[in-house]
């Protein structure tokens, strides 16, 4: 009987990790963590949760992210939500584009994820993307990494490549059309915009996950799930409160 129970437990743990689609260098680690890039040059990894998220409901997403131990490493991680026609195969360009965007919105070439929005955790200064010199976070749209001066400026939370896990919490308020992001318990990014209609053309089912890449410079980069939950009164009827994607 014990053997049977042990076998069942093994299956259930395997299933937890099976809930991601992995692209490139992404692969499951222990303890609900997922490797995005090894500490090697020119890597790109993407992990999408196999369950789409419902933008018609309120939800909270709570992860730890690890961005490496070398202050001069690169390139960073993005949290992405998208309806790209390539679905779970969608990817962006490596290096400074962090597996999400493209080199420059003026250039025709380079794969990027769109329609989409992303929160970037950028650890490398790229003047070509109008980056601030320090590590920064920013809201991005439609596979464009470039920081236009007329949109919300990147924020600088300090060195992110400090060999520590950083708490990342994202909360979506569907009725208030507000997206809020905390890093290490400090509210860093707040966007109020009709994202559902302006970005996703009214499509409430979006794919979500994390992208990351390295270039000439590199760092180990991974994330760990802590919690996903639809919030009370707005949950889709087929999901129990708090059932999330565990």
Residues of this chain that interact with Ca ion (CB under 5 A) are 71, 96, 122-124, 126, 131, 135, 159, 161
CA atoms within 13 A on the CB side of 48: 24
Strand 186-192 relative to strand 205-213: parallel, antiparallel, unpaired? unpaired
Q: Least distance (Å) from Ca ion to the CB of residue 35? A: 20
- Which three-class secondary structure state does DSSP give residue 189? strand
The helix or strand, by DSSP H or E, that contains position 64, with its residue range, turns out to be strand 59-66
Q: Least distance (Å) from Ca ion to the CB of residue 167? A: 17
Distance of CA 223 to the CA centre of its chain: 9
Whichever of 91 and 230 has its CB closer to Ca ion, that residue is 91
DSSP letter for 197, please.
Answer: H
Residues in the chain: 246
Q: Least distance (Å) from Ca ion to the CB of residue 72? A: 7
CB count in 10 Å sphere of residue 198: 13
Whichever of 89 and 159 has its CB closer to Ca ion, that residue is 159
Cβ-proximal residues to 180 (8 Å cutoff; 6+ apart), any chain: 170, 171, 173, 187, 189, 190
Q: Least distance (Å) from Ca ion to the CB of residue 165? A: 15
CB count in 10 Å sphere of residue 103: 18
Q: Least distance (Å) from Ca ion to the CB of residue 90? A: 20
Whichever of 124 and 172 has its CB closer to Ca ion, that residue is 124
Whichever of 44 and 161 has its CB closer to Ca ion, that residue is 161
Q: Which residue has tokens 């500490």?
A: 39
Q: Least distance (Å) from Ca ion to the CB of residue 193? A: 23
Q: Least distance (Å) from Ca ion to the CB of residue 188? A: 16
| H-type alpha helices, the chain | 2-17, 195-198
Distance of CA 209 to the CA centre of its chain: 5
Whichever of 44 and 122 has its CB closer to Ca ion, that residue is 122
Q: What are phi and psi of 110, to 5 degrees?
A: 100, 130
CA dist 111 and 139 (Å) reads 19
Whichever of 83 and 214 has its CB closer to Ca ion, that residue is 214
Whichever of 28 and 41 has its CB closer to Ca ion, that residue is 41
């Amino acid at each position: 009987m014990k053997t049977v129970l042990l076998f069942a437990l093994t299956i259930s743990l395997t299933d937890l990790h099976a809930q991601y689609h992995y692209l490139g260098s992404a692969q499951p680690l222990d303890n609900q963590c997922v490797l995005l890039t090894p500490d090697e040059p020119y890597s790109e990894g993407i992990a999408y949760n196999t369950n789409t998220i419902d933008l018609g409901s309120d939800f909270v997403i709570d992860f730890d992210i690890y961005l490496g131990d070398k202050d001069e490493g690169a390139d960073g991680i993005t949290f992405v939500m998208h309806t790209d026609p390539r679905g779970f195969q969608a990817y962006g360009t490596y290096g400074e584009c962090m597996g999400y965007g493209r080199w420059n919105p003026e250039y025709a070439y380079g794969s990027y994820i769109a329609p989409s929005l992303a929160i970037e955790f950028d650890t490398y200064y790229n003047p070509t993307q109008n980056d601030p010199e320090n590590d920064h976070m920013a809201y991005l749209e439609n596979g464009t990494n470039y920081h236009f001066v007329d949109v919300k400026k990147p924020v600088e939370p300090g060195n992110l490549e400090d060999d520590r896990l950083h708490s990342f919490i994202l909360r979506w308020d569907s009725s208030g059309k507000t997206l809020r992001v905390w890093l290490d318990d400090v509210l860093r990014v707040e966007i109020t915009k009709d994202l559902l209609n302006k970005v996703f053309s009214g499509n409430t089912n979006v794919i979500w996950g994390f992208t990351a890449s390295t270039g000439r410079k590199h760092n180990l980069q991974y994330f760990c799930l802590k919690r996903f939950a639809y919030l009370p009164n707005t949950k889709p009827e087929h999901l129990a409160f708090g059932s999330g994607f565990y």
